[in-house]
Every structure is written in C-alpha cells, then in structure tokens.
Amino acid sequence: MFKPLPDSRSGCVTLTIDGQSLSVFEGQSVAAAVLAAGLASCRTTVVSGSPRLPYCMMGLCFDCLMEIDGVPNCQACLVEVREGMVVRRQQGRRGLQP
C-alpha cells in the first residue's frame, strides 16, 4: 500500500523491529518505516488489545507509540531512523520513564 516516491536519497540504514532487520531509507521516520515494511501494528490498545498503526504522522494522535532503543512511549512518527536502532512494538500500557 505504501511505497516511497522516487527521489535522490543518499542511502539506507538498517534497524531492527521486534527482532526483524529492515533496510530503510535514511532520513525517514520510524513510523514511515513501519508502514513501508507492511507491519501489522506499532502497538496494541490498553483496553481491548486492538492493533494500532500510525495515523496522523505529525505527533498529534499517539497511535504510533513504540519502544525505541529501550525508551517506551516514543512517538515513532517524530523519530528519524538511525543505523542499528532497536525498535519494539508496545503491547498495552507501558510505564513512564523516570
């Protein structure tokens, strides 16, 4: 469904989402990488366990919350991919970082 538009991006980086290695365009957001990879969800809801995917892509809706490099509740649409980044999908409610 989602495909990157042709452009002159300089290269790719490799990140891991739930143990799966992905090669993605440098400079894109983690949320865009999730959508381009066709993953089923970023997180599940607390009450019903329903899967959620990025929605607004600009930091307003919080449907893209993921654990990024060990930090929970990161808005994946606002975080740019980096080489070696480790991302995990959140299942239900996560605690706050002190």
Q: What structural domains does the chain harbor? A: 12-91 (3.10.20.440)
Model pLDDT for residues 36-83, shown as the tens digit of each residue: 888 889 898 888 889 999 999 999 999 999 999 999 999 999 999 999
pLDDT attached to residue 46: 84
pLDDT attached to residue 64: 93
**How would residue 16 be classed by pLDDT, with cut points 50, 70 and 90?**
very high
Whole-prediction pTM value?
0.82
CA dist., res. 76 & res. 12, Å (int): 18
What are residue 21's DSSP bridge partners? 16
